[in-house]
Amino acid sequence: MDQTHVAGEIEADQVLLTEKQVLDRLGEMAAQIEADYEGKDLLLVGVLKGAVMVMADLARSLNRHVEMDWMAVSSYGSGTKSSGVVRILKDLDTDIKDRHVLVVEDIIDTGLTLSWLITNLKSRGPASVEIATLLRKPEAVTMDVDVTYVGFDIPNAFVVGYGLDYDEKYRNLRCIGTLSPHVYS
Q: SS in 3 state form for the chain? A: CCHHHHCCCCCHHHEEECHHHHHHHHHHHHHHHHHHCCCCCEEEEEEECCCHHHHHHHHHHCCCCCEEEEEEEECCCCCCCCCCCCEEEECCCCCCCCCEEEEEEEEECCCHHHHHHHHHHHCCCCCEEEEEEEEECCCCCCCCCCCCEEEEECCCCCEEECCECECCECCCCCCEEECCHHHHC
In a domain, 91, yes or no: yes
- pLDDT score for 150: 98
The whole domain housing 29 covers 19-155
In a domain, 5, yes or no: no
- pLDDT score for 75: 73
In a domain, 10, yes or no: no
In a domain, 29, yes or no: yes
pTM: 0.92
Which of the residues are catalytic?
A: 109
Domain count, the chain: 1
Q: Which range, of 81-85, 126-130, 172-176, averages the lowest pLDDT?
A: 81-85
- pLDDT score for 81: 57
In a domain, 14, yes or no: no
